[in-house]
Amino acid sequence: MTRLEAIQADITTVEVDVIVNAANSSLMGGGGVDGAIHQAGGPAILAECKEIVARQGPLPPGEAVITTAGNLPARHVVHTVGPIWGTVPANEAVDLLASCYRSSLDLGREASLRSIAFPNISTGVYRFPKPLAADTAVAAVRQWHDHFPRAFDTVLFVCFGPDNLRLYQELLAD
């Protein structure tokens, strides 16, 4: 049975098989979670990201790619691009955000990884409303899990602050 749990932590310190990066489409690092992952993981992550972008171009919102984790305690990083709130209709933004979670889970499953940790994708500078983002994330993971119930042992929602942690804990308690 897969354990779904919310914790408050710095995602760069979480010991799982794969952490998910809330990346921008260039995959070159940035602020927030993206910058922290690139900084803590070191140059190996950026080098792989550059190769991916050279091969396929910028990563569109809702899609994901996987790289090494460099110096991080995780084994891999899945980079996914969330939607920027207000740039597309709300229903499309929700669909794109859900796709971020499904695409990330798909890559982890394909790589036979057993534990995955998600940040709160799109809720920082991309301004996705936190309650809607949490609801979308938990629903997407639960729906995906219904199709692949044995794919992961652990799915973590890693919240940087206590407000997001409460949102996820309430949703996971249902």
Predicted confidence (pLDDT) per residue in 78-114, tens digit: 999 999 999 999 999 999 999 999 999 999 999 999 9
Q: Is 34 a catalytic residue?
A: yes
Res. 1: pLDDT tops 90: no
**Helices then strands, each counted (H, E), the chain:** 5, 6
| β-sheet with 115-118: strand ranges across | 3-8, 154-159, 115-118, 18-23, 76-81, 64-68
Our CA angle for 172, 84, 140, nearest 5°, is 30
The percent of residues in the chain predicted with pLDDT above 90, rounded, is 97
Its domain, for residue 35, covers 3-173
Catalytic residue among 34, 106, 153, 174: 34
Parallel, antiparallel or unpaired: strands 18-23 and 76-81 = parallel
Q: Which residues pair with 7 in a beta bridge?
A: 158
Encoding tokens for residue 19? Answer: 């952490």
The percent of residues in the chain predicted with pLDDT above 70, rounded, is 100
Predicted confidence (pLDDT) per residue in 41-85, tens digit: 999 999 999 999 999 999 999 999 999 999 999 999 999 999 999
pTM summary value:
0.97
Could you tell me the CATH number of the domain that includes residue 132? 3.40.220.10
Q: How many folded domains does the chain comprise?
A: 1
